Amino acid sequence: MADWTQNLPKPAQDYLTGRRLDEVECVIPDLPGIARGKAVPASKFARQDYFHLPDSIFYQTITGNWGEAAGDEGFIEKDMILKPDMDTATAAPWTGDWTLQVIHDAYDRDDQPVPFSPRNVLKRVVQLYRDKGWEPVVAPEMEFFLVARNLDPAHEIEPMIGRSGRPAAARQAYSMTAVDEFGPVIDDIYDFAEAQGFEIDGITQEGGAGQLEINLLHGDPVKLADEVFYFKRLIREAALRHDCYATFMAKPIEDEPGSAMHIHHSVLDSKTGKNIFSAEDGSETPAFMHFIAGLQNHMPDALAVIAPYVNSYRRYVKDHAAPINLEWGRDNRTTGIRVPLSGPAARRVENRLAGMDCNPYLGIAASLACGYLGLTEGKTPAEEFKGDAYDGDGDIPQVLGSALDLFDEASALHSVLGTEFARVYSIVKRAEYDEFLQVISPWEREHLLMNV
């Protein structure tokens, strides 16, 4: 190995032991969470401290178009300075040669963090917590579907063919037999994760046909967002090896449950390391209630970030394992905000609204931002909901356009996430929504063509 590789994280060093590093993928997550960047020979990477990409990558929509980047200078596509975070160096074990991936952070020409880079947005929110003497801790859960190859977007998505030769069946939640159906794909997921130094807390079959869930251990929000970013890529690569797709769409299959990225939160006192949600006697603290209130009061404004596409809102369906409101309850999976069973040290709040289609950096940042506002405002939440929250009324936006309207007016949320990020995010999402509204759907052709 070259000398510079001696300082890599241990999993990356282990991956390269006895091997010659060929290439380094220099990547940065864009607004949708897609890896953008450059692949360079290892010898060149060893000589470079940074590289350049235009800031227009953050104005690009999911369809490949660009939002109108209005500003004093117009849209001139400034070069950003992308610097590697070597703590993120990890294997790309599916490649044909020996390759590492390294996440980069974006800076402007004055060496200031680019405010609309998703990783920088999350770092900003985490720093606001630390400025208050708090250390936020998160644990994400990742749900996704393994589906048959879909070469024609006009065709409905279908479950993959499992080991038995039959399509994956729905309504098999927590079935080990169902997990075994996808054994070869899961084996590769474990192998790729091990090569990258990631620890999986567990894999379970969820309620949808071919739907799986991966739980990650709790920890630092930026580190966990990095892992989700990497996991999405490795899961897709594992699926392609077995002639199927992995999809993180919020609602890929009609009449099946959607895929969430549930986020568990706790907050530690930076000095003592103790959970600020629990008092010395183990009881719940006012801070615990303030955090819940923050989610209740500000999550509608943040929904456009944690549910970023028109498809995202198809997931919020009554009795389909997704919340329809912002009620909170203890050990109640029908509520949007859940307090899981735990001891005082592990007391936490679970946000069940975020979809797996969201950018993990932005989804975690938005959820933490709502909790931060709750902690600083000191308000109390509504009464705990007891019973089936699906019997209540929905109180969250039902379409992306409505969610964007709330987001655009959310000055308190903007102050935490960053006003420049909020401006750029709205530009891009408005462009995507406007483009979607130009599409005529099969439903419209079927029911309106000859009947209206």
Residue 45: strand, helix, or coil: helix
Name the average pLDDT for the chain: 91
Q: What pLDDT was estimated at residue 158?
A: 84
Mean pLDDT confidence for 51-80: 80
Which segment of 81-90, 163-172, 270-279, 282-291 scores lowest on mean pLDDT?
Answer: 163-172
CA distance 310 to 403: 10
Statement: residue 166 has pLDDT above 70: no
The 3-class SS string of 417-429 reads HCHHHHHHHHHHH
Closest CA to 278 of 383, 131, 270, 269: 269
pLDDT tens, position by position, 440-451: 988 899 999 999
* pTM of the predicted structure, to 2 decimals: 0.94
pLDDT at 71: 46
110-121 pLDDT, tens per residue?
A: 999 999 999 999
Percentage with pLDDT > 70 across the chain: 93
Would you place residue 75 in the very low, low, confident or very high pLDDT band (cuts 50, 70, 90)? low
pLDDT the model gives residue 14: 92
**pLDDT at residue 402 tops 80:** yes
Pair of tokens at residue 52: 């350049």
pLDDT at 321 over 80: no
In three-state secondary structure terms, 55 is: helix
β-strand partners of 84: 104
Non-local CB neighbours of 308 within 8 Å, separated by 6+ positions: 32, 355, 357, 358, 359, 362, 400, 429
pLDDT of residue 61 exceeding 80, the answer is yes
208/25 Cα distance (integer angstroms): 34
pLDDT grade, residue 206 (50/70/90)? confident
Evaluated on CA atoms 130, 134, 135, 138, the torsion sign reads: negative
> Would the CA dihedral through 366, 372, 376, 381 be positive or negative?
positive
